């Protein structure tokens, strides 16, 4: 079984993000981009890992590229997230494609997607997303 297959299987068990490489598996049940921000913030070397995520928009895709994720699967993938993965040569698959990632209230675009609307550099995206996430969590 491949890393991405292992990650997809674990995602189906209810996790929001699963990362696999060889025999190692890391999971998270945090929502949004919080899992990737946490793994990156902990200094984990994610180069070459495969990622299966519940929802991947532009924000998550930019974090995947920044971290060096080798392959990605999304239950739901936005058009902008797909563009980022294609541009950076990250192989991907998805269960469903959508135009935009919607916010939790369901009345607009996700604030993380808005934050990186005009950002294409993964390192810049990390800075913007950390700041936006902290502000939304009341930690800014």
What's the pLDDT tens digit per position in 69-105?
999 999 999 999 999 999 999 999 999 999 999 988 8
pLDDT at position 104: 87
pLDDT at position 137: 86
The CATH number of the structural domain formed by 3-136 is 3.40.140.30
pLDDT at position 23: 85
Residues 37 and 17: their CA atoms lie apart, in Å, by 12
pLDDT at position 91: 98
pLDDT at position 94: 97
pLDDT at position 140: 55
Q: Where are the domains of the chain?
A: 3-136
**pLDDT, tens digit, 9 for 90 and up, residues 20-55:** 999 899 999 999 999 999 999 999 999 999 999 999
Confidence band, pLDDT 50/70/90 cuts, at residue 4? very high
Residues 104 and 71: their CA atoms lie apart, in Å, by 27
């Amino acid at each position: 079984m491949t890393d991405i297959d292992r990650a997809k299987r674990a995602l189906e068990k209810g996790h929001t993000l699963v990362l696999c490489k060889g025999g190692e598996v890391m999971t998270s049940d945090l929502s949004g981009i919080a899992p990737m921000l946490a793994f990156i913030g902990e200094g984990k070397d994610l180069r070459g890992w495969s990622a299966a995520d519940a929802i991947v928009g532009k924000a998550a895709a930019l974090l995947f590229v920044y971290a060096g994720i080798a392959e990605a699967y999304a239950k739901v993938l936005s058009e902008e997230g797909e563009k980022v993965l294609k541009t950076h040569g990250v192989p991907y698959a998805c269960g469903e494609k959508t135009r935009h990632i919607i916010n939790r209230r369901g009345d607009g675009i996700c604030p993380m997607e808005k934050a990186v609307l005009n950002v294409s550099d993964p390192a810049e995206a990390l800075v913007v997303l950390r700041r936006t996430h902290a502000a939304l969590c009341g930690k800014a």
